[in-house]
Amino acid sequence: MAMNAARAVGVDIGGTGIKGALVDLQAGALLSERVKVATPAGAEPDDVLEAVRTVLETLGVTDADVPLGVAFPAIVRNGRTMSAANVADTWIGFEAEKFFEDGLGREIHFANDADVAGVAEVRYGAARGVGGLVILTTLGTGIGTAMLHNGILIPNSELGHLQRAEKTSDVEAWAAYSAMEREDLTWVKWAKRLQWYYSHLEFLLSPDLFIVGGGVSKHSEEFLPLLELKTPIVPAVHRNNAGIIGAAALSARVSAGDA
């Protein structure tokens, strides 16, 4: 297979936006501008595929000899999406990887969005060389999580869907960045929710490091200092690009045949 493993394209499909870029796999850095389009309302498969096409065409990377990784905000098992928190229910049990491969006419590597962000931070960021348990959380439309033990990903953790005993909604509906925006919370009020969430994760899982990703991680100085935890908590080095970089990194590894 004529794959150039020095660079790959990453596309990160989120509940609100679909972002993509060409990535330098040695440096773990973007080689192109970051292209972003809105996630189509309802996020049905055909519309999402069309939006991914637009991203690839805008980037000018439609030929199949550059590896392509696609990240998606759902549980991904054997190429199938198995949940749909912020996208259409059609994705539940859907052969998503094959759908994108057929639609784009090329091979892709397909995985959960938070998991690929975790991989990016292990290879090129805040989790590099960190032993023990690292939990990366993305605070965006939902809350995504990646669990990494001694640098190895434990895929498909869904710790944004923890339930608070006294409430009916998942924690992500209450503590994701979208909740802060929707309810117009101050940093202090939002941080109180995050305090509950991270303390709970800390109690359940005894991690060695928390990494905070998602778009809001660029404002981490507004809320991370407000949290009182035993576990160190740091922003993702690659901020909201971790998903793009991780998706690209995984695609090239697979393409090179050493996954």
Binding site for ligand BGC (CB under 6 A): 14-15, 73-75, 83, 85-86, 112-114, 138, 142, 144, 158, 160, 172
What's the closest the beta carbon of residue 157 comes to ligand BGC, in angstroms? Answer: 9
What's the closest the beta carbon of residue 4 comes to ligand BGC, in angstroms? Answer: 29
What's the closest the beta carbon of residue 144 comes to ligand BGC, in angstroms? Answer: 3
Nearer to ligand BGC, 103 or 215 (CB): 215
What's the closest the beta carbon of residue 76 comes to ligand BGC, in angstroms? Answer: 8
Buried b (16+ CB within 10 A) or exposed e, 149-184: eebebebbbbbbbbeeeeeeebbbbebbbbbbeeee
Whether the Cβ atoms of residue 73 and residue 66 lie closer than 8 Å to each other? no
Nearer to ligand BGC, 112 or 241 (CB): 112
Nearer to ligand BGC, 72 or 190 (CB): 72
Lateral strand order in the sheet of 143-149: 152-154, 143-149, 133-139, 209-213, 233-235
Give the position of tokens 């995985």: 111
Distance CA 131, CA 96 (A): 33
Distance CA 84, CA 75 (A): 8
Nearer to ligand BGC, 83 or 231 (CB): 83
